Amino acid sequence: MSSLYVKPLRVYLILGALAIWGVFSGLGLSTSLFPMSSQATVSVSVSYGSYSSKQFYDSVGRDLEGLLQSVKALEVPVENLRADYRDRSANYRVRFEWGADPAEAAKSVETRVNSFLNRFEKDIRDSAHVSAWRQNQGFFAVSFYSPLRPLDELHRVMEPFVRPLNARVADAEGVSLYNPNAKEITVLLQPERMAQYGVGSRQIEGAIADSIFALNGGTLRIGEREYQVRLPKRAETTDILANIRVSPVGTRVVLLKDVATLRVIPSEDNNQRFRTSGVDSLILFANPKEGGNIKRMSDEIMANLEASRAQWPADVQFRVIVNPAEFIDRSIKGVLHEVAIAAFLAVLVLFFFIGSFRNVITAAIEIPLSLLLAFILMKLAGMNLNLISLGGLALSAGMNVDASVVVLENIFRHFDGKPKNLSFEEKTRLVGEAVSEVRLPILASTIASLVVFLPLIFTRGLTNSLLGDLAKAVIFSHGLSAIVA
């Protein structure tokens, strides 16, 4: 330890390098409203195939519900299952207990569902769709409204501005424009006409799929730029869809309208309506990717909307409904405010007792330095900046100066009564003795404070989600403050 006091420049350089590392680590932390630990929800959708809803429930649904309730994602069991049997498909929402990873939950559910459905007809097997998400990851929402335009027309106007956001915003899982007036096309097959023309349901399904999905033609590179080549959909309207060919090539031409009836009806999924300033509204929803930075996502979407606003019709207005970036900005400002107050009060109190502004500043620097070093451990531990971890940093800010005060006071006690013309070697010896005397008491005191928070790291479920990141932030920051002191 004496070598550190003899060459203090080395200490300053090491701490400076660590502080810079801490700054970059803090900037590299992903930002979200809540910790990564959460309740994962998995959605399963299965078509009835040739069954009616009652036949499907009796033959498939009852056993599938029991199967879904028994699924585990890395030993995390299912907490709740909700089943909804609609006109043409069954939808199951499986909610796991706290701490389940969404990707692992979706994988476990998909494996069990596919294995179970293998015994049933191909239409049912091929229709199964599984997706997962976190319930506390947060989202971004903006409403678009116009007192002069109906929602369908407003949707046609705003869709070209919203669709490119999926490619421009890297942290977004998906950006969609919700229209409560959205329609869907139902195709009602006529068995007698199908038998007359010799066309099966699988042929019709394949022809419809080929006509409504765009094809990817690869990537075209010109110079340093790359362009995605996509073949557009053949069926852009209902009339075009009705006239697609459903019979194989080389046989009699049979069109979809010859064997089915097409109807345009309101979508079953759009059962919610939103009003802004008394006017029906479209809602832009955006969800972050797993581990994505929700603050950066929200800021980028707002920047893109503001950049394109000059191209909108004059009557179109928008209003931010949910912007997580605002909450996160306030939280960060709150932490900085708490750190500033803690540092100021510490400097003020120490100045009254010590009387040396230079020595007081030395102790006060420990507060921001401990926070910066804590960012390094948070980055290595895979944490993110959220309301809980920021609260832990704010909680530890006032505690971090304690060790420095004890060290400074003991150094002053050793110098008390000594002549002022001491040599550098004598001063170094006194400082070393002072620090050695309080080293173990400081470590013991710090450990005693951290032991209170340590068990919270090993909790599971809701307790870990609420207090796990807070405990880690306090332990990292306050534990490092003893080393800095």
The model's pLDDT over 71-96, given as tens digits with 9 standing for 90+, comes to: 888 778 888 888 888 777 888 988 88
- Counting every residue, how long is the chain? 485
SS3 141: strand
- For residue 170, what are its two tokens? 């890297």
- Nearest partner of 94 among 74, 75, 66, 114, judged by Cα: 66
Buried b (16+ CB within 10 A) or exposed e, 186-222: eeeeeeeebeebebebebbeebbeebeeeeeeeeeee
Q: Worst-scoring range by mean pLDDT, 56-60, 121-125, 211-215, 302-306?
A: 211-215
Written as one string, the DSSP assignment of 28-41 is: HS-B-SS-S--EEE
CATH superfamily of 2-30+326-484: Multidrug efflux transporter AcrB transmembrane domain (1.20.1640.10)
Q: Are 393 and 371 in contact (CB under 8 A)?
A: yes
Question: Which tens digits make up the pLDDT trace of 396-427?
Answer: 877 777 777 788 778 877 877 777 777 777 77
**What SS3 class is residue 226?**
strand
Q: Is the pLDDT of residue 236 over 70?
A: no
Q: Enumerate the domain spans of the chain.
A: 2-30+326-484, 39-135
Helix (H, G, I), strand (E, B) or coil at 263: strand
The CATH class given to the 39-135 domain equals alpha beta
Strands 279-288 and 172-178: antiparallel
- For residue 316, give the nearest of 287, 277, 286 by alpha carbon: 277
List, for residues 187-209, the tens digit of each pLDDT value: 888 888 888 888 887 788 778 77
Helix and strand element counts for the chain (H, E):
20, 14
Tell how strand 275-276 and strand 225-231 pair up: unpaired
Angle among Cα 165, 170, 176 to the nearest 5 degrees reads 35
Rounded distance between C-alpha atoms, residue 195 and residue 286, angstroms: 46
* pLDDT band (50, 70, 90) for residue 325: confident
Q: Which residues pair with 92 in a beta bridge?
A: 44, 83
Whether pTM exceeds 0.75: no
- Please give the Cα distance from 413 to 382 (Å, whole number): 43
